[in-house]
């Protein structure tokens, strides 16, 4: 991202958040009555660190566009325990199983930004055109950063499909401020919601933070999600740092059975001095996969938006090295281009 664009987006973000406090409730080990925290892995990056990164960064190049993908046309439904996974791009993944269509952190916007003319711009288009997207039953939101909570896309999904919108605590206030009549389900870590058709979702801890404007840092919670379906459990990490792995232990405690598929971020991790507390690198992602004892993993959060100093293909290069060092097959821990699918019978 050009520094000029970043400055514009940062200034305009002052007005992007409608309120500085989204949630009031009893204190917990990760909520002090006003702000949320990671239970055991603090996030210590400051605005000073952010500007230090911006003025000292040496980013790998990103092209204006990459045309190495072919948009697909997913089926209307997948019945039974078969699981069809379609990569949309970044952290947006379409999960189809047991007659439900579930989408994670959907973003069809051109930019991951509070404004349409500045901020990280998409270089790979969505793997499914919005008009080709089947009716969505459930939208899963991990946290409120603009590349994960895209209001224009969420508004279109709500107006078209009226899906269940599930998210961590306090993020519902943001949607209700921006989408007329939207209905939401907001959960604390460990909270469970019935999605229908014998499927439920469980909010889990991850190591991250939240912010949409200058004055609302950590006033909304972040989470991963366990999707407990008859064919097996799917884990969506959203966005997370490793933080010593404290949250992996918590996910394992909450997991109702062996994880069939883990959706794990592998991109936006350079430079490590700035990104490590919030974003795993590919080596840590492989470690998380092993510690979760998941049957398979899909690398997400790479190659669509220039969010950090790693280039669009760097995560794939580093993931290949990490898999080889850990003895993990590329048939088990895979990546998909937008539009590609992975079929679990």
Beta carbons of 122 and 305 less than 8 angstroms apart: yes
Q: Is residue 15 very low, low, confident or very high in pLDDT (cuts 50, 70, 90)?
A: very low
Is 10's pLDDT higher than 60?
A: no
Q: 155-168: string of b/e by CB count within 10 Å (b at 16+)?
A: ebbbeebebbbbbb
Residue 210 has pLDDT above 80, yes or no: yes
Reported as a single tens digit per residue, the pLDDT across 258-301 is 999 999 999 999 999 999 999 999 999 999 999 999 999 999 99
DSSP calls for 82-135: -EEEEEEETTEEEEEETTEEEEES---SSBSSSSSSSS-B-SS--SS-GGGSPP
Number of domains present in the structure of the chain = 1
- How high is the pLDDT of residue 123? 97
Contact between residue 299 and residue 266 where contact means Cβ atoms under 8 Å apart: yes
pLDDT at 220: 96
Domain assignment of residue 115, given as a range: 3-344
Average pLDDT over residues 215-231: 95
CATH, residue 81: 3.60.15.10
Q: Is the pLDDT of residue 16 over 90?
A: no
pLDDT for 29-61, tens place per residue?
Answer: 999 999 999 988 778 888 899 999 989 999 999
pLDDT at 143 over 50: yes
The pLDDT of residue 226: 98
Predicted confidence at residue 3, as pLDDT, reads: 46
pLDDT at 20: 58
Phi-psi map region of 270: left, alpha, beta (phi>0 left; psi -120 to 50 alpha) = beta
User: What percentage of the chain exceeds 70 in pLDDT?
Assistant: 94
pLDDT at position 22 is 79
Whether residue 1 has pLDDT greater than 80: no
- Looking at residue 321, its pLDDT comes to 98
Stretch 239-266: mean pLDDT: 96
Contact 334, 299 (CB under 8 A): yes
């Amino acid at each position: 991202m050009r520094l000029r664009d970043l400055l514009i987006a940062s200034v305009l973000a002052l007005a992007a958040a409608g309120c500085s406090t989204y949630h009031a409730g009893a204190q917990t080990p990760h909520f002090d009555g006003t702000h949320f925290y990671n239970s055991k892995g603090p996030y210590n990056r400051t605005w000073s660190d952010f500007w230090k990164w911006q003025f000292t960064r040496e980013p790998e190049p990103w092209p204006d566009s990459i045309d190495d993908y072919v948009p697909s046309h997913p089926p209307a439904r997948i019945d039974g325990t078969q699981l069809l996974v379609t990569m949309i791009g970044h952290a947006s993944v379409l999960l189809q199983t047991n007659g439900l269509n579930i989408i994670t952190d959907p973003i069809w916007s051109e930019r991951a930004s509070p404004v349409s003319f500045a901020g990280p711009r998409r270089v790979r288009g969505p793997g499914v055109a919005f008009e080709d997207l089947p009716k969505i039953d459930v939208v899963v939101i991990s946290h409120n950063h603009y590349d994960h909570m895209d209001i224009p896309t969420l508004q279109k999904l709500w107006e078209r499909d009226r899906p269940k919108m599930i998210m961590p605590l306090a993020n519902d206030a943001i949607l209700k401020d921006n989408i007329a009549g939207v209905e939401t389900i907001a959960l604390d870590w460990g909270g469970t919601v019935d999605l229908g058709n014998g499927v439920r979702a469980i909010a889990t801890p991850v190591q991250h933070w939240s912010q949409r404007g200058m004055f609302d840092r950590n006033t909304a919670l972040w989470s991963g999600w366990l999707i407990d379906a008859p064919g097996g459990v799917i884990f969506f990490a959203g966005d997370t740092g490793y933080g010593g792995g404290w949250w992996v232990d918590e996910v394992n405690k909450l997991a109702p059975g062996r994880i069939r598929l883990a959706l794990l971020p592998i991109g936006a991790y350079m430079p490590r001095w700035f990104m490590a507390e919030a974003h795993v690198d590919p080596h840590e992602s492989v470690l998380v996969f092993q510690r979760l004892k998941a049957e398979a993993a899909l690398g997400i959060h790479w190659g669509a938006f220039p969010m950090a100093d790693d280039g669009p293909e760097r995560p794939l290069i580093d993931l290949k090295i990490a898999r080889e060092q850990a003895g993990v097959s590329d048939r088990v821990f895979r990546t998909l281009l937008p539009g590609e699918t992975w079929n679990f019978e």
